[in-house]
Structure 1
Protein backbone atom coordinates (compact mmCIF):
# COMPACT_ATOMS: atom_id res chain seq x y z
CA UNK A 1 0.00 0.00 0.00
CA UNK A 2 1.24 3.47 -0.87
CA UNK A 3 2.39 5.65 2.03
CA UNK A 4 1.19 8.80 0.28
CA UNK A 5 -0.92 11.06 2.51
CA UNK A 6 -4.26 12.17 1.09
CA UNK A 7 -6.75 14.86 2.11
CA UNK A 8 -10.28 14.98 0.70
CA UNK A 9 -12.55 18.03 1.09
CA UNK A 10 -16.21 17.66 0.10
CA UNK A 11 -18.24 20.47 -1.45
CA UNK A 12 -15.11 22.53 -1.91
CA UNK A 13 -15.45 24.38 -5.20
CA UNK A 14 -16.38 27.56 -3.28
CA UNK A 15 -16.84 29.09 0.14
CA UNK A 16 -15.30 27.60 3.27
CA UNK A 17 -14.58 24.31 1.50
CA UNK A 18 -12.50 26.12 -1.10
CA UNK A 19 -10.57 27.98 1.61
CA UNK A 20 -9.92 24.68 3.41
CA UNK A 21 -8.46 23.20 0.21
CA UNK A 22 -6.26 26.27 -0.19
CA UNK A 23 -5.10 26.02 3.42
CA UNK A 24 -4.33 22.33 3.04
CA UNK A 25 -2.36 23.01 -0.13
CA UNK A 26 -0.27 25.48 1.85
CA UNK A 27 0.49 23.18 4.79
CA UNK A 28 -0.51 19.55 4.22
CA UNK A 29 2.34 17.30 3.11
CA UNK A 30 0.41 15.12 0.70
CA UNK A 31 -2.16 15.12 -2.08
CA UNK A 32 -5.25 17.33 -1.68
CA UNK A 33 -8.48 16.51 -3.50
CA UNK A 34 -11.00 19.25 -4.19
CA UNK A 35 -14.40 17.66 -4.75
CA UNK A 36 -17.65 19.05 -6.07
CA UNK A 37 -20.94 17.78 -7.39
CA UNK A 38 -20.62 19.91 -10.50
CA UNK A 39 -17.58 18.86 -12.51
CA UNK A 40 -17.28 22.12 -14.43
CA UNK A 41 -17.33 24.25 -11.29
CA UNK A 42 -14.94 21.91 -9.50
CA UNK A 43 -12.39 21.98 -12.28
CA UNK A 44 -12.68 25.77 -12.48
CA UNK A 45 -11.87 25.99 -8.75
CA UNK A 46 -8.85 23.71 -9.24
CA UNK A 47 -7.65 25.87 -12.13
CA UNK A 48 -7.96 28.97 -9.94
CA UNK A 49 -5.83 27.35 -7.23
CA UNK A 50 -3.25 26.25 -9.77
CA UNK A 51 -2.93 29.88 -10.87
CA UNK A 52 -1.92 30.59 -7.27
CA UNK A 53 0.82 27.95 -7.49
CA UNK A 54 -1.00 25.06 -5.78
CA UNK A 55 -1.57 21.58 -7.19
CA UNK A 56 -4.85 20.15 -5.89
CA UNK A 57 -6.54 17.31 -7.76
CA UNK A 58 -10.23 17.21 -8.68
CA UNK A 59 -12.69 14.40 -8.09
CA UNK A 60 -16.40 14.60 -8.82
CA UNK A 61 -18.40 13.71 -5.71
CA UNK A 62 -22.18 13.67 -5.67
CA UNK A 63 -23.02 15.56 -2.51
CA UNK A 64 -24.90 18.83 -2.92
CA UNK A 65 -23.93 22.16 -1.42
CA UNK A 66 -25.58 23.25 1.80
CA UNK A 67 -29.21 24.15 1.20
CA UNK A 68 -29.85 27.91 1.27
CA UNK A 69 -31.54 29.29 4.35
CA UNK A 70 -33.49 31.56 2.01
CA UNK A 71 -34.96 28.68 0.01
CA UNK A 72 -38.37 29.40 -1.45
CA UNK A 73 -39.69 25.82 -1.47
CA UNK A 74 -42.46 24.78 0.94
CA UNK A 75 -41.10 23.89 4.38
CA UNK A 76 -41.71 20.15 3.94
CA UNK A 77 -39.58 20.15 0.80
CA UNK A 78 -36.89 22.28 2.46
CA UNK A 79 -36.76 19.88 5.40
CA UNK A 80 -36.39 16.82 3.20
CA UNK A 81 -33.71 18.38 1.00
CA UNK A 82 -31.74 19.86 3.88
CA UNK A 83 -31.66 16.59 5.81
CA UNK A 84 -30.81 14.69 2.62
CA UNK A 85 -27.77 16.87 1.97
CA UNK A 86 -26.47 17.88 5.39
CA UNK A 87 -27.07 14.61 7.21
CA UNK A 88 -27.56 11.71 4.82
CA UNK A 89 -25.07 13.15 2.31
CA UNK A 90 -22.43 13.44 5.02
CA UNK A 91 -23.22 9.92 6.22
CA UNK A 92 -22.89 8.44 2.72
CA UNK A 93 -19.51 10.07 2.16
CA UNK A 94 -18.29 8.81 5.52
CA UNK A 95 -19.49 5.28 4.83
CA UNK A 96 -17.61 5.30 1.52
CA UNK A 97 -14.35 6.76 2.84
CA UNK A 98 -14.04 5.36 6.37
CA UNK A 99 -12.88 1.89 5.28
CA UNK A 100 -10.05 3.59 3.35
CA UNK A 101 -8.75 5.65 6.28
CA UNK A 102 -5.25 4.85 7.46
CA UNK A 103 -3.85 4.95 10.96
CA UNK A 104 -4.02 8.39 12.60
CA UNK A 105 -6.44 9.81 10.03
CA UNK A 106 -8.49 12.85 10.97
CA UNK A 107 -12.13 13.45 10.06
CA UNK A 108 -13.59 16.94 10.33
CA UNK A 109 -17.36 17.18 9.96
CA UNK A 110 -18.67 20.69 9.32
CA UNK A 111 -21.47 21.39 11.77
CA UNK A 112 -22.61 24.86 12.84
CA UNK A 113 -23.56 26.91 15.87
CA UNK A 114 -27.02 25.70 14.81
CA UNK A 115 -25.73 22.19 15.45
CA UNK A 116 -25.46 22.74 19.20
CA UNK A 117 -27.74 20.35 21.10
CA UNK A 118 -29.70 23.11 22.86
CA UNK A 119 -30.79 24.69 19.59
CA UNK A 120 -33.45 21.96 19.77
CA UNK A 121 -36.18 23.41 22.04
CA UNK A 122 -37.75 20.17 23.29
CA UNK A 123 -36.02 18.33 26.15
CA UNK A 124 -37.45 15.01 24.96
CA UNK A 125 -36.09 15.51 21.44
CA UNK A 126 -32.71 16.60 22.83
CA UNK A 127 -32.65 13.43 24.89
CA UNK A 128 -32.90 11.35 21.71
CA UNK A 129 -29.89 13.07 20.16
CA UNK A 130 -27.80 12.95 23.34
CA UNK A 131 -28.57 9.34 24.31
CA UNK A 132 -25.24 7.62 25.01
CA UNK A 133 -26.56 4.44 23.39
CA UNK A 134 -27.57 6.21 20.17
CA UNK A 135 -26.57 4.32 17.02
CA UNK A 136 -26.41 5.41 13.40
CA UNK A 137 -29.48 3.36 12.41
CA UNK A 138 -31.42 4.94 15.28
CA UNK A 139 -30.20 8.41 14.30
CA UNK A 140 -31.38 7.69 10.76
CA UNK A 141 -34.82 6.91 12.18
CA UNK A 142 -34.84 10.19 14.12
CA UNK A 143 -34.08 12.14 10.96
CA UNK A 144 -36.74 10.28 9.00
CA UNK A 145 -39.19 11.07 11.80
CA UNK A 146 -38.36 14.78 11.54
CA UNK A 147 -38.97 14.79 7.78
CA UNK A 148 -42.28 12.99 8.33
CA UNK A 149 -43.35 15.53 10.96
CA UNK A 150 -42.36 18.38 8.62
CA UNK A 151 -44.49 16.93 5.83
CA UNK A 152 -47.43 16.63 8.23
CA UNK A 153 -46.96 20.21 9.52
CA UNK A 154 -46.16 18.91 13.00
CA UNK A 155 -42.51 19.97 13.36
CA UNK A 156 -43.14 22.71 15.93
CA UNK A 157 -45.77 20.65 17.75
CA UNK A 158 -43.37 17.71 18.09
CA UNK A 159 -40.60 19.88 19.56
CA UNK A 160 -38.20 20.22 16.63
CA UNK A 161 -38.42 24.02 16.54
CA UNK A 162 -39.95 26.72 14.40
CA UNK A 163 -40.18 26.26 10.62
CA UNK A 164 -38.51 26.88 8.33
CA UNK A 165 -35.11 27.37 10.01
CA UNK A 166 -35.51 24.33 12.25
CA UNK A 167 -34.73 22.19 9.18
CA UNK A 168 -31.20 23.55 9.13
CA UNK A 169 -30.86 23.28 12.92
CA UNK A 170 -32.03 19.66 13.03
CA UNK A 171 -29.78 18.70 10.11
CA UNK A 172 -26.70 20.18 11.81
CA UNK A 173 -27.54 18.78 15.26
CA UNK A 174 -27.67 15.42 13.53
CA UNK A 175 -24.20 15.97 12.01
CA UNK A 176 -22.81 16.67 15.47
CA UNK A 177 -24.59 13.64 16.94
CA UNK A 178 -23.27 11.51 14.07
CA UNK A 179 -19.72 12.72 14.75
CA UNK A 180 -19.94 11.63 18.39
CA UNK A 181 -21.25 8.20 17.39
CA UNK A 182 -18.52 7.80 14.77
CA UNK A 183 -15.80 8.63 17.29
CA UNK A 184 -17.19 6.03 19.66
CA UNK A 185 -17.11 3.39 16.92
CA UNK A 186 -13.52 4.22 16.00
CA UNK A 187 -12.51 4.08 19.66
CA UNK A 188 -13.78 0.49 19.80
CA UNK A 189 -12.04 -0.66 16.62
CA UNK A 190 -9.75 -3.67 16.80
CA UNK A 191 -7.08 -3.17 15.66
CA UNK A 192 -7.41 0.49 16.56
CA UNK A 193 -6.45 2.94 13.81
CA UNK A 194 -6.31 5.94 16.18
CA UNK A 195 -8.77 7.92 14.05
CA UNK A 196 -10.27 11.18 15.29
CA UNK A 197 -13.67 12.59 14.37
CA UNK A 198 -14.46 16.15 15.39
CA UNK A 199 -17.29 18.52 14.45
CA UNK A 200 -16.70 22.20 13.82
CA UNK A 201 -18.67 25.45 13.77
CA UNK A 202 -16.72 27.52 11.21
CA UNK A 203 -18.42 30.78 12.15
CA UNK A 204 -20.84 33.05 10.33
CA UNK A 205 -19.10 33.23 6.98
CA UNK A 206 -20.31 35.57 4.27
CA UNK A 207 -21.11 33.44 1.22
CA UNK A 208 -23.71 33.43 -1.52
CA UNK A 209 -25.81 31.21 0.76
CA UNK A 210 -25.39 33.37 3.87
CA UNK A 211 -25.68 37.10 3.27
CA UNK A 212 -25.76 37.68 7.04
CA UNK A 213 -22.26 36.35 7.57
CA UNK A 214 -19.30 38.60 8.27
CA UNK A 215 -16.26 36.30 8.33
CA UNK A 216 -14.19 35.72 5.21
CA UNK A 217 -13.95 32.19 3.84
CA UNK A 218 -10.33 32.10 5.04
CA UNK A 219 -11.47 32.96 8.58
CA UNK A 220 -14.15 30.27 8.31
CA UNK A 221 -11.51 27.73 7.32
CA UNK A 222 -9.34 28.49 10.36
CA UNK A 223 -10.97 26.07 12.82
CA UNK A 224 -11.43 23.18 10.36
CA UNK A 225 -7.77 23.47 9.34
CA UNK A 226 -6.67 23.64 12.96
CA UNK A 227 -8.58 20.46 13.78
CA UNK A 228 -7.30 18.70 10.65
CA UNK A 229 -3.65 19.68 10.93
CA UNK A 230 -2.79 20.68 14.50
CA UNK A 231 -5.24 19.32 17.08
CA UNK A 232 -4.78 16.00 18.86
CA UNK A 233 -8.19 15.62 20.52
CA UNK A 234 -11.07 13.36 19.51
CA UNK A 235 -14.84 13.64 19.44
CA UNK A 236 -14.95 17.36 20.22
CA UNK A 237 -17.23 20.21 19.17
CA UNK A 238 -14.98 23.06 18.08
CA UNK A 239 -15.92 26.73 17.72
CA UNK A 240 -14.70 28.99 14.93
CA UNK A 241 -12.02 30.43 17.24
CA UNK A 242 -10.64 26.91 17.81
CA UNK A 243 -12.13 26.71 21.31
CA UNK A 244 -13.59 23.36 22.40
CA UNK A 245 -17.25 23.76 23.36
CA UNK A 246 -19.37 21.37 25.42
CA UNK A 247 -22.02 20.17 22.97
CA UNK A 248 -24.24 18.99 25.86
CA UNK A 249 -24.12 22.24 27.85
CA UNK A 250 -27.06 24.63 27.72
CA UNK A 251 -25.05 27.69 26.72
CA UNK A 252 -22.41 28.38 24.08
CA UNK A 253 -19.97 31.21 23.39
CA UNK A 254 -21.01 33.96 21.02
CA UNK A 255 -21.82 32.62 17.57
CA UNK A 256 -19.88 35.48 15.99
Structure 2
Protein backbone atom coordinates (compact mmCIF):
# COMPACT_ATOMS: atom_id res chain seq x y z
CA UNK A 1 0.00 0.00 0.00
CA UNK A 2 1.02 3.60 -0.62
CA UNK A 3 -0.80 5.32 2.23
CA UNK A 4 1.04 8.47 3.23
CA UNK A 5 3.06 8.59 0.02
CA UNK A 6 3.01 11.55 -2.37
CA UNK A 7 3.33 11.08 -6.13
CA UNK A 8 3.73 13.07 -9.33
CA UNK A 9 2.63 11.57 -12.64
CA UNK A 10 3.31 13.34 -15.91
CA UNK A 11 0.63 13.07 -18.56
CA UNK A 12 -2.03 11.69 -16.26
CA UNK A 13 -5.32 12.54 -17.95
CA UNK A 14 -5.55 9.78 -20.57
CA UNK A 15 -4.59 6.23 -21.40
CA UNK A 16 -1.75 4.67 -19.44
CA UNK A 17 -1.17 7.86 -17.44
CA UNK A 18 -4.77 7.95 -16.24
CA UNK A 19 -4.60 4.28 -15.25
CA UNK A 20 -1.43 4.95 -13.25
CA UNK A 21 -2.98 7.91 -11.42
CA UNK A 22 -6.07 5.92 -10.53
CA UNK A 23 -4.09 2.87 -9.41
CA UNK A 24 -1.68 4.85 -7.21
CA UNK A 25 -4.61 6.68 -5.63
CA UNK A 26 -6.44 3.40 -5.06
CA UNK A 27 -3.36 2.18 -3.21
CA UNK A 28 -3.50 5.23 -0.95
CA UNK A 29 -1.09 7.72 -2.54
CA UNK A 30 -1.91 11.39 -3.02
CA UNK A 31 -1.20 12.24 -6.65
CA UNK A 32 -0.56 15.41 -8.64
CA UNK A 33 -0.57 15.01 -12.41
CA UNK A 34 -0.23 17.34 -15.35
CA UNK A 35 -2.14 17.49 -18.60
CA UNK A 36 -1.66 19.59 -21.72
CA UNK A 37 -5.02 20.31 -23.35
CA UNK A 38 -8.26 18.72 -22.13
CA UNK A 39 -9.70 20.23 -18.97
CA UNK A 40 -12.66 17.86 -19.20
CA UNK A 41 -10.48 14.74 -19.30
CA UNK A 42 -8.39 15.91 -16.35
CA UNK A 43 -11.45 16.82 -14.30
CA UNK A 44 -12.92 13.39 -15.00
CA UNK A 45 -9.81 11.71 -13.60
CA UNK A 46 -9.91 13.83 -10.45
CA UNK A 47 -13.63 13.15 -10.02
CA UNK A 48 -13.19 9.40 -10.49
CA UNK A 49 -10.40 9.32 -7.91
CA UNK A 50 -12.43 11.35 -5.41
CA UNK A 51 -15.51 9.18 -5.94
CA UNK A 52 -13.37 6.21 -4.91
CA UNK A 53 -12.07 7.93 -1.77
CA UNK A 54 -8.73 9.07 -3.14
CA UNK A 55 -7.01 12.42 -3.62
CA UNK A 56 -5.65 13.75 -6.90
CA UNK A 57 -4.95 17.20 -8.29
CA UNK A 58 -4.56 18.19 -11.93
CA UNK A 59 -2.23 20.93 -13.18
CA UNK A 60 -2.46 22.20 -16.74
CA UNK A 61 1.08 22.42 -18.10
CA UNK A 62 2.31 21.64 -21.59
CA UNK A 63 5.64 19.84 -21.29
CA UNK A 64 6.67 21.18 -24.69
CA UNK A 65 7.48 24.32 -22.68
CA UNK A 66 11.03 23.81 -21.34
CA UNK A 67 10.09 25.49 -18.05
CA UNK A 68 7.07 23.27 -17.45
CA UNK A 69 8.76 20.28 -15.75
CA UNK A 70 10.25 22.38 -12.97
CA UNK A 71 6.99 24.30 -12.60
CA UNK A 72 5.12 21.02 -12.24
CA UNK A 73 7.47 19.62 -9.63
CA UNK A 74 7.45 22.80 -7.56
CA UNK A 75 3.66 23.10 -7.72
CA UNK A 76 3.26 19.45 -6.79
CA UNK A 77 5.52 19.75 -3.78
CA UNK A 78 3.67 22.85 -2.63
CA UNK A 79 0.38 20.93 -2.88
CA UNK A 80 1.59 17.68 -1.36
CA UNK A 81 4.20 18.81 1.13
CA UNK A 82 6.84 16.34 -0.05
CA UNK A 83 7.68 13.88 -2.81
CA UNK A 84 8.00 10.09 -2.63
CA UNK A 85 7.07 8.81 -6.09
CA UNK A 86 7.70 10.17 -9.58
CA UNK A 87 6.25 8.54 -12.69
CA UNK A 88 7.43 9.99 -15.98
CA UNK A 89 4.68 8.91 -18.35
CA UNK A 90 4.05 11.87 -20.66
CA UNK A 91 5.23 11.37 -24.22
CA UNK A 92 4.75 12.79 -27.67
CA UNK A 93 4.33 10.21 -30.45
CA UNK A 94 3.69 11.66 -33.88
CA UNK A 95 2.77 10.19 -37.24
CA UNK A 96 5.66 7.99 -38.44
CA UNK A 97 8.14 9.81 -40.63
CA UNK A 98 11.38 8.72 -42.27
CA UNK A 99 14.54 10.44 -41.08
CA UNK A 100 14.95 12.10 -44.47
CA UNK A 101 11.46 13.59 -44.20
CA UNK A 102 11.42 14.59 -40.53
CA UNK A 103 11.36 18.30 -39.75
CA UNK A 104 14.17 19.06 -37.27
CA UNK A 105 11.71 21.18 -35.29
CA UNK A 106 9.53 18.11 -34.83
CA UNK A 107 12.54 16.10 -33.64
CA UNK A 108 13.38 18.86 -31.15
CA UNK A 109 9.82 18.91 -29.80
CA UNK A 110 9.73 15.14 -29.33
CA UNK A 111 13.06 15.21 -27.50
CA UNK A 112 11.88 18.10 -25.32
CA UNK A 113 8.69 16.37 -24.19
CA UNK A 114 9.95 12.79 -24.04
CA UNK A 115 13.54 13.18 -22.84
CA UNK A 116 14.25 16.63 -21.44
CA UNK A 117 11.18 16.41 -19.23
CA UNK A 118 12.44 13.15 -17.72
CA UNK A 119 15.89 14.63 -17.14
CA UNK A 120 14.44 17.71 -15.45
CA UNK A 121 11.97 15.88 -13.21
CA UNK A 122 14.64 13.40 -12.12
CA UNK A 123 16.97 16.33 -11.47
CA UNK A 124 14.34 17.85 -9.20
CA UNK A 125 13.71 14.51 -7.49
CA UNK A 126 17.42 13.92 -6.94
CA UNK A 127 17.57 17.13 -4.96
CA UNK A 128 14.29 16.96 -3.07
CA UNK A 129 12.71 13.49 -3.07
CA UNK A 130 12.56 11.87 0.36
CA UNK A 131 14.86 8.92 1.01
CA UNK A 132 13.31 5.60 0.04
CA UNK A 133 11.50 7.15 -2.91
CA UNK A 134 10.58 5.59 -6.23
CA UNK A 135 11.08 6.83 -9.80
CA UNK A 136 9.45 4.98 -12.70
CA UNK A 137 10.01 6.08 -16.28
CA UNK A 138 7.72 4.86 -19.04
CA UNK A 139 9.53 3.85 -22.22
CA UNK A 140 8.34 1.63 -25.07
CA UNK A 141 8.93 -1.72 -26.71
CA UNK A 142 9.90 0.28 -29.80
CA UNK A 143 13.43 0.68 -28.46
CA UNK A 144 13.97 -3.01 -29.27
CA UNK A 145 11.26 -3.59 -31.89
CA UNK A 146 12.68 -1.07 -34.30
CA UNK A 147 11.41 -0.13 -37.71
CA UNK A 148 11.26 2.74 -40.19
CA UNK A 149 9.54 5.99 -39.32
CA UNK A 150 10.00 6.08 -35.55
CA UNK A 151 13.46 7.60 -35.27
CA UNK A 152 12.58 10.57 -33.05
CA UNK A 153 10.30 8.58 -30.74
CA UNK A 154 12.64 5.60 -30.37
CA UNK A 155 15.67 7.84 -29.86
CA UNK A 156 13.89 9.85 -27.17
CA UNK A 157 12.87 6.72 -25.30
CA UNK A 158 16.27 5.11 -25.67
CA UNK A 159 17.70 8.13 -23.90
CA UNK A 160 15.13 7.71 -21.12
CA UNK A 161 16.30 4.15 -20.57
CA UNK A 162 19.89 5.34 -20.18
CA UNK A 163 18.82 8.06 -17.74
CA UNK A 164 17.08 5.39 -15.68
CA UNK A 165 20.21 3.28 -15.31
CA UNK A 166 22.44 6.23 -14.43
CA UNK A 167 19.96 7.72 -11.94
CA UNK A 168 19.61 4.32 -10.24
CA UNK A 169 23.33 4.33 -9.54
CA UNK A 170 23.36 7.94 -8.42
CA UNK A 171 20.39 7.68 -6.04
CA UNK A 172 20.71 4.15 -4.72
CA UNK A 173 22.61 5.16 -1.58
CA UNK A 174 19.47 7.01 -0.44
CA UNK A 175 17.24 3.98 -0.99
CA UNK A 176 15.63 5.59 -4.05
CA UNK A 177 14.91 3.08 -6.80
CA UNK A 178 14.76 4.08 -10.47
CA UNK A 179 13.25 1.77 -13.08
CA UNK A 180 11.83 1.77 -16.57
CA UNK A 181 8.58 0.14 -17.65
CA UNK A 182 8.37 -0.51 -21.39
CA UNK A 183 4.83 -1.26 -22.56
CA UNK A 184 4.08 -3.11 -25.73
CA UNK A 185 1.00 -2.37 -27.84
CA UNK A 186 -1.48 -1.00 -25.32
CA UNK A 187 -5.11 -0.29 -26.17
CA UNK A 188 -5.31 3.49 -25.91
CA UNK A 189 -6.79 6.25 -28.04
CA UNK A 190 -3.25 7.11 -29.15
CA UNK A 191 -2.57 3.57 -30.37
CA UNK A 192 -5.86 3.31 -32.24
CA UNK A 193 -5.43 6.77 -33.72
CA UNK A 194 -2.05 5.95 -35.27
CA UNK A 195 -2.62 2.34 -36.41
CA UNK A 196 -5.04 0.58 -38.73
CA UNK A 197 -7.38 -2.01 -37.11
CA UNK A 198 -5.81 -4.85 -39.09
CA UNK A 199 -2.37 -3.90 -37.80
CA UNK A 200 -3.61 -4.03 -34.21
CA UNK A 201 -5.21 -7.41 -34.83
CA UNK A 202 -1.91 -8.68 -36.19
CA UNK A 203 0.01 -7.47 -33.14
CA UNK A 204 -2.50 -9.05 -30.77
CA UNK A 205 -2.15 -12.32 -32.67
CA UNK A 206 1.64 -12.23 -32.29
CA UNK A 207 1.45 -11.74 -28.52
CA UNK A 208 1.70 -14.97 -26.46
CA UNK A 209 -1.26 -13.84 -24.35
CA UNK A 210 -3.29 -13.22 -27.50
CA UNK A 211 -4.46 -9.64 -26.93
CA UNK A 212 -3.44 -6.03 -26.75
CA UNK A 213 -2.39 -4.68 -23.41
CA UNK A 214 -4.75 -2.62 -21.30
CA UNK A 215 -3.64 0.58 -19.53
CA UNK A 216 -4.32 -1.14 -16.21
CA UNK A 217 -1.82 -3.89 -17.13
CA UNK A 218 0.93 -1.28 -17.23
CA UNK A 219 -0.37 0.63 -14.20
CA UNK A 220 -0.19 -2.52 -12.09
CA UNK A 221 3.49 -2.97 -12.93
CA UNK A 222 4.17 0.68 -12.07
CA UNK A 223 2.33 0.31 -8.76
CA UNK A 224 4.44 -2.72 -7.86
CA UNK A 225 7.68 -0.83 -8.53
CA UNK A 226 6.36 2.21 -6.64
CA UNK A 227 5.50 0.19 -3.57
CA UNK A 228 7.38 -1.56 -0.78
CA UNK A 229 7.51 -4.85 -2.66
CA UNK A 230 9.60 -3.24 -5.39
CA UNK A 231 12.33 -2.12 -3.00
CA UNK A 232 15.02 -4.52 -4.32
CA UNK A 233 14.53 -3.71 -7.99
CA UNK A 234 16.41 -0.77 -9.46
CA UNK A 235 18.09 0.16 -12.71
CA UNK A 236 15.90 -2.31 -14.58
CA UNK A 237 13.71 -2.18 -17.67
CA UNK A 238 10.53 -4.18 -17.11
CA UNK A 239 9.00 -5.06 -20.47
CA UNK A 240 5.23 -5.09 -19.95
CA UNK A 241 4.48 -6.48 -23.39
CA UNK A 242 2.43 -9.59 -22.84
CA UNK A 243 5.46 -11.63 -23.86
CA UNK A 244 6.07 -9.95 -27.23
CA UNK A 245 9.79 -9.20 -27.24
Give 1:221-232 correspondences, 5 Å limit. 221-229=219-227, 230-232=229-231
**CA drift at 1:39:** 7.1
Which stretch has the larger CA shift, 233-242 or 106-115? 233-242
Q: Secondary structure of the equivalent of 2:125?
A: helix
Q: Secondary structure of the equivalent of 1:210?
A: helix
Matching residue of 2:110: 82
Give 1:134-145 correspondences, 5 Å limit. none
2:159 pairs with one of 158, 167, 174: 174
**CA drift at 1:108:** 0.2
Matching residue of 1:94: 122
Q: Is the CA contact 1:11–1:36 (under 8 Å) kept in the aligned structure 2? A: yes
Q: Secondary structure of the equivalent of 1:209?
A: helix
Aligned length: 195
Q: Secondary structure of the equivalent of 1:206?
A: coil
Distance 2:219 2:4 in 1: 24
Distance 2:38 2:124 in 1: 20
**CA drift at 1:4:** 4.7
Distance 1:7 1:56 in 2: 9
Structure 1 position 34 matched with structure 2 position 33 = yes
Bigger CA radius of gyration: 1
Give 1:114-193 correspondences, 5 Å limit. 114-116=142-144, 119=146, 162=148, 164-187=149-172, 192-193=173-174
Q: Secondary structure of the equivalent of 1:70?
A: coil
Which stretch has the larger CA shift, 51-60 or 70-79? 70-79
Q: Secondary structure of the equivalent of 1:78?
A: helix
Structure 1 position 106 matched with structure 2 position 134 = yes
Q: Is the CA contact 1:223–1:239 (under 8 Å) kept in the aligned structure 2? A: no
Question: Gapped runs of 5+ residues in structure 2?
Answer: 65-89, 201-211
**CA drift at 1:67:** 2.0
Q: Is the CA contact 1:186–1:194 (under 8 Å) kept in the aligned structure 2? A: yes
**CA drift at 1:71:** 6.1
Distance 1:196 1:115 in 2: 22
Distance 2:14 2:52 in 1: 15
Matching residue of 2:10: 10
1:67 pairs with one of 92, 113, 119: 92
1:204 pairs with one of 181, 185, 194: 185
Q: Is the CA contact 1:203–1:240 (under 8 Å) kept in the aligned structure 2? A: yes
Question: Gapped runs of 5+ residues in structure 1?
Answer: 120-160, 243-252
Return closer, same or farther for 1:17/1:222 CA change in 2, 3 Å cut-off: same
Distance 1:167 1:39 in 2: 25
Which stretch has the larger CA shift, 74-83 or 202-211? 74-83
Q: Is the CA contact 1:203–1:215 (under 8 Å) kept in the aligned structure 2? A: yes
Q: Is the CA contact 1:202–1:224 (under 8 Å) kept in the aligned structure 2? A: no
Matching residue of 2:244: 254
Larger helix fraction of residues: 2
